[in-house]
Amino acid sequence: MKADNISLAAVALVAAVALLSACEKKTTTVNDTPPGSTSSTTSTTTVAPSQAASNAMSATTSALDKAGDAAGDAMITGKVKTALIADPDVKALRIDVDTKNGVVALSGTADSAAHSDKATSVARGIDGVKSVDNRLTVKP
């Protein structure tokens, strides 16, 4: 929970910096008069606040989506590992579970092909799992 708060604070900080930097005022001085003259022209360009806010909002949304995906994958991994531990047929301590974008990868060893298939079945039964990549090796 503490890590979620830190991540959210970091995203908010990035959004604030993006918003402030997007509102930067730029001034350019152009000398377009003949030598010896004392006049000059100054032009100022300002990014519209609504565009700056839109840019910051887009960056924040993107960062939150990435953080949400990572948190969702971690939650799926935990649920799959817990379900494997709860199953008496599966030797869960020999199985590593990794999740990326909802795809669960099982690696390690199983005592039999039936136990390997059971691990795949258990993982598929978890909410949020899109597919399972069974890389388990059956021990002879």
If DSSP codes are grouped into helix, strand and coil, which group holds residue 106? Answer: strand
Quote the pTM value.
0.55
If DSSP codes are grouped into helix, strand and coil, which group holds residue 135? Answer: strand
How does pLDDT run across 11-53, given as a tens digit for each residue? 665 655 555 555 545 555 555 556 665 555 555 555 556 666 6
How does pLDDT run across 45-71, given as a tens digit for each residue? 555 566 666 666 666 666 656 656 667
Task: Report how many domains make up the chain.
Answer: 1
86 and 114 in contact (C-beta within 8 Å)?
A: no
Fill in the amino acid letter for 51.
Q
Provide the domain limits for residue 76: 2-138
CA separation for the pair 34, 12 (Å, rounded)? 50
Closest CA relative to residue 77, chosen from 129, 41, 12, 26: 129
